[in-house]
Structure 1
Amino acid sequence: MTGFAVGAEQPPIRSERENFRIEVVAAGLEHPWSVAFLPDGRYLVMERPGRLRVIDADGRLDPRPVAGIPAVSARGQGGLLDVVLHPGFAGNGWVYLSYAGAGEGGVGTEVLRGRWVSDRAGNRLVDVQVIYRQWPKSDGGVHFGSRLVFDRAGLLHVTQGDRGEMARAQRLDDLAGKLVRLHDDGGIPADNPWRGVAGARPEIFSVGHRSMQGAALHPVTGELWTHEHGPQGGDEINVARIGRNYGWPVITFGVNYGIGTKIGVGTQREGLEQPLHQWTPSIAPSGMAFYTGDRFPGWRGNLFVGALKFQMLVRLELDGERVVREERLLTGREGRIRDVRQGPDGLLYLLTDASNGKLLRLVPVSTP
Structure 2
Amino acid sequence: MNSLKKIFFIVLLFSLTFSYGNKKSYLIDQMSLDLGIPWGMAFLQKDKLLVTQKDGQILLLDLFTRKKTFIKNAPEVFYTGQAGLLDVKLSPNYKIDKWIYFTYVKKDNKKGSTTLSRAKLVKNSLVSWQDLLVSKSSTENKVHYGSRIAFDDNNHVFFSIGDRGIRANSQDLTNHAGTIIRLNMDGSIPFDNPFVNDDKVLDEIYSYGHRNPQGMFFDKKTKKLWSIEHGPRGGDEINIIESGKNYGWPVISYGKEYWAPLSIGEGVAKVGMEQPIKYYIPSIAPSSILVYSGKLFKEWEGNIFSGALRLTHLNRIILNDKNETIKEERLLKEIYERIRNVIEDDEGYIYVSTDTGRILRLKPNDR
TM category, shorter: over 0.9
Specify the SS of the correspondent of 1:309: coil
Q: C-alpha separation between the residues in 2 aligned to 1:13 and 1:325?
A: 23
Give distance in 2, aligned partners of 1:30 and 1:55.
Answer: 13
Q: CA deviation at 1:41?
A: 2.5
Residue 362 of structure 1 corresponds to 362
Q: CA deviation at 1:310?
A: 1.6
CA offset digits 1:36-62 (Å, max 9, x no partner): 001252000111000111101314232
Shift of 1:293: 3.5
Of the three residues 334, 337, 354, the one matched with 1:335 is 337
2:55 corresponds to which of 49, 57, 78: 49
Q: 2:178: which partner in 1?
A: 177
Q: For residues 132 and 119 of structure 2, what CA distance do their matches in structure 1 show?
A: 10
Distance 1:183 1:104, change over 3 A: farther
Give the C-alpha shift of residue 226 in structure 1.
0.2
Indicate how the Cα distance of structure 1 residues 229 and 59 shifts in structure 2: closer, same or farther if over 3 A, else same.
farther
Tell whether the 8 Å contact from 1:36 to 1:45 is kept in structure 2 after alignment.
yes
| CA–CA distance in structure 1, aligned partners of residues 103 and 110 of structure 2 | 19
Q: CA RMSD in A?
A: 1.6
Match of 1:92 among 89, 97, 107: 97
Query: Per-residue displacement from partner, 1:280-315 (whole Å, max 9, x unpaired)?
Result: 100001111111142111111111111001210111
Give the share of equivalent positions with the same residue, in percent: 38
Question: Given residue 93 of structure 1, which amino acid in structure 2 is its aligned partner?
Answer: K
> 1:14 and 1:145 mapped to 2: Cα distance?
38
**Which residue of the other structure, out of 24, 33, 37, is the alignment partner of 2:43?**
37
Aligned to 2:286: 285
What secondary structure sits across from 2:143 in the alignment?
coil
**Which residue matches 1:229?**
230
Pairing 1:72–2:73 present: no
Give the structure-2-normalised TM-score. 0.93
Structure 1 stretches of 4+ with a deviation exceeding 6 A read: none
- For residue 8 of structure 1, give the secondary structure of its aligned residue in structure 2: helix
Are 1:155 and 2:156 counterparts? yes
Partner-residue secondary structure (3-state), 1:295: coil
Deviations 1:52-79 (A, max 9, x none): 11101314232x5211211101111110
Would the alpha carbon gap of residues 59 and 79 (structure 1) be closer, same or farther in structure 2, given more than 3 Å must change? farther
Q: Which structure exhibits the higher relative contact order, with contacts defined as CA atoms closer than 8 Å and separated by 6 or more residues?
A: 1
Q: Secondary structure at the match of 1:34?
A: strand
Segment of structure 1 superposing worse, 270-279 or 293-302: 293-302
Checking the alignment, whether the CA contact within 8 Å between 1:35 and 1:45 is kept in structure 2 is yes
Larger helix fraction of residues: 2
1:258 Cα deviation (Å)? 2.7
Q: Contact conserved, 2:353 with 2:359, CA < 8 A, in 1? A: yes
Greater CA drift, 321-330 or 266-275: 321-330
- Once residues 108 and 339 of structure 2 are traced to their aligned partners in structure 1, the CA distance between those partners, rounded to angstroms, is 30
- SS of alignment partner, residue 285 of structure 1: coil
| Deviation (angstroms), 1:104 | 5.3
1:89-238 to 2 correspondences below 5 Å: 89-103=94-108, 106-118=111-123, 123-238=124-239
Cα distance in 1, alignment partners of residues 275 and 205 from structure 2: 19
Query: What is the CA-CA distance between 1:259 and the residue it aligns to?
Result: 1.3
Q: Deviations over 1:109-150 (max 9, x none)?
A: 0011001213xxxx0110000001110422121100000001
Does the C-alpha gap of structure 1 residues 40 and 21 become closer, same or farther in structure 2, counting only changes over 3 Å? closer
Match of 2:86? 81
Structure 2: tracts of 5 or more residues without a match:
1-9
For residues 197 and 33 of structure 1, the distance between their equivalents in structure 2, rounded to whole angstroms, comes to: 35
TM-fit CA distance, 1:14: 5.8
Structure 2 match to 1:11: 19
The 1:272/1:19 distance shift into structure 2, 3 A limit, reads same
> What letter corresponds to residue 83 of structure 1 in structure 2?
V
CA contact (8 A) 2:137 2:164 kept: no
